[in-house]
Amino acid sequence: MPKPAAASLKETLTLKLDYEQLTNCMRCGFCLPACPTFQETGVEAESPRGRISLMKAAVDGIMEPGISFENQMNHCLGCRACEPACPADVKYGQLIEQARDAVEVHTRQHRWWIKGVRKLVFDQLFPHQRRMRLLGKSLELYKKSGVQALVRKTGVVGAFSEHLSSMERILPDASGKGIVERLGSRIAAKGEKIGTVGMFRGCLMDVLFTETNMKTVQLLSEAGFEVVIPDTQNCCGALHAHSGESDTAKQLARNNIRAFQEAGVDYIVSNAGGCGAILVEYDHLLHDDQEWQEAARGFAKKVMDISTILVERGRPLNFADREAEENPIRVTYQDSCHLRNVMKGGSRPRQLLSGIANVSYMEMEDAGSCCGSAGIYNVTQPDMASQILEHKMEKANATKAHYLVTSNPGCLLQMKLGIDKHGRSESMKAVHIADFLFDRIVK
């Protein structure tokens, strides 16, 4: 995006920030205990109240926003745990997006490699599904060709960076073939048809977790839904919207709305909390676009998470772990922040997991608190992300669960990383809820 020479960050903040929302904050501090960055640091400026005060002070001209202002905006995970805790219903998620949008126009603090990662991810990769498939194919080849075995044997990545070595160990079974190439774009309902679901396949989900996408579709079919997967859909735009790239996010949203409108579906289902949360807020994202406003509202109303639709609309399914008849297995759940705080869908995965025969559900302490994944936060803010993850794993380990279940690909990778670095890797496995449920359907 070209940087306007004349406007200062203060002026851009004044233009972009919703001043009414800034003044709605009554400084009560109820949000502080819910905020992971405040919990980790104890610093007011690292809290929702602190960040809102900084935004308001900048707009009011009390403070010149500089590098430390930018840092505080970028340190926020965007998990939105502060919103349900707020008695004044301050729309913090919107404020932080507006602030980051402004910061991105004037930014001076991204290091060269962060700029490179952002450019690659936001412009060159995620919006282009064909390139995502190429990435999937390359990772598949890396694993199957023996290069991965060689890399591990020689320990070359570990010599370079222990963190990178851990990331390499948790690489999922990527694929160059997405769900449409595997199942086609229309899958019939099993038994009597209840309705038609449009499956949001996700750009990352479709190449890194194709099996999970397939199991999601099969769960929907078993629950009585015909599933349509429009091939013209693209990335949801969540990472763009949360990182100050709102123009690209809006364009991606318009494409998706068009794709699902043409498919003529009753529901739009996502199996990734991070994607679902922006899909459900397309009406907000396009609120100033007269031409697309109404279509965006119609789209947003149809969006549901896989767990929610199974519980609330689907034909009830029976689940059991046949291998655990003698010794029930323990399972715990790490919330996807966006499924819990934005889509308000945190209870449904717990309900499904608690209803599986021979499985005992253990609630983890602070399961609703962010795991530190947060889009590309664990890449751009590795120190804070690692600190949060380490504390998360202490709580996960305390459950002694055999399975750590999540509802979002970013959280799933972060949990795998956590188990690898700090966990009980011999006895605990991180899995997506769609995989966990599908493998235990009783037919």
Give me the residues that bind ligand SF4 (CB under 6 A), please. Answer: 25-31, 34-37, 48-49, 51-52, 76-82, 85-86, 88, 90, 92
Tell me if 259 sits within 8 A of 236, measured CB to CB.
no
Nearer to ligand SF4, 48 or 410 (CB): 48
- Smallest CA-to-CA distance from 93 within 106, 107, 109, 77 is with 77
CB of 276 to ligand SF4, least distance (A): 17
Tokens 């602070």 map to which residue? 366
Nearer to ligand SF4, 210 or 341 (CB): 341
Residues 6+ apart with CB under 8 A from 5: none
Nearer to ligand SF4, 55 or 311 (CB): 55
CB of 410 to ligand SF4, least distance (A): 15
Query: End-to-end distance of the chain based on CA atoms, in angstroms?
Result: 53
CB of 23 to ligand SF4, least distance (A): 10
Nearer to ligand SF4, 51 or 201 (CB): 51
Nearer to ligand SF4, 82 or 199 (CB): 82
Nearer to ligand SF4, 79 or 431 (CB): 79
How far is Cα 355 from Cα 433, in angstroms, rounded to an integer?
13
Nearer to ligand SF4, 102 or 179 (CB): 102
How far is Cα 386 from Cα 390, in angstroms, rounded to an integer?
6
CB of 271 to ligand SF4, least distance (A): 23
Tell me if 204 sits within 8 A of 169, measured CB to CB.
no
CB of 77 to ligand SF4, least distance (A): 4
Measured CA to CA in angstroms, residue 87 lies from 18, 25, 34, 393 at distances of 18, 9, 13, 30
Measured CA to CA in angstroms, residue 147 lies from 56, 154, 339, 378, 413 at distances of 52, 11, 37, 26, 21
CB of 96 to ligand SF4, least distance (A): 6
Question: In whole angstroms, how large is the CA radius of gyration of the chain?
Answer: 22
Nearer to ligand SF4, 10 or 51 (CB): 51
CB of 9 to ligand SF4, least distance (A): 20
Nearer to ligand SF4, 295 or 384 (CB): 384
Residues 6+ apart with CB under 8 A from 424: 397, 400
How far is Cα 73 from Cα 254, in angstroms, rounded to an integer?
27
Q: Tokens representing 397? A: 């380990």
CB of 379 to ligand SF4, least distance (A): 17
Nearer to ligand SF4, 49 or 432 (CB): 49
- Smallest CA-to-CA distance from 432 within 349, 354, 311 is with 349
Nearer to ligand SF4, 82 or 263 (CB): 82
CB of 288 to ligand SF4, least distance (A): 23
CB of 195 to ligand SF4, least distance (A): 34
Q: Strand 225-228 to strand 186-187: parallel, antiparallel, or no bridges (unpaired)? A: antiparallel
Nearer to ligand SF4, 233 or 380 (CB): 380
CB of 83 to ligand SF4, least distance (A): 7
CB of 42 to ligand SF4, least distance (A): 13
For the sheet containing 186-187, what is the strand order?
186-187, 225-228, 195-200, 267-270, 303-305
Measured CA to CA in angstroms, residue 38 lies from 46, 366, 392 at distances of 5, 14, 15
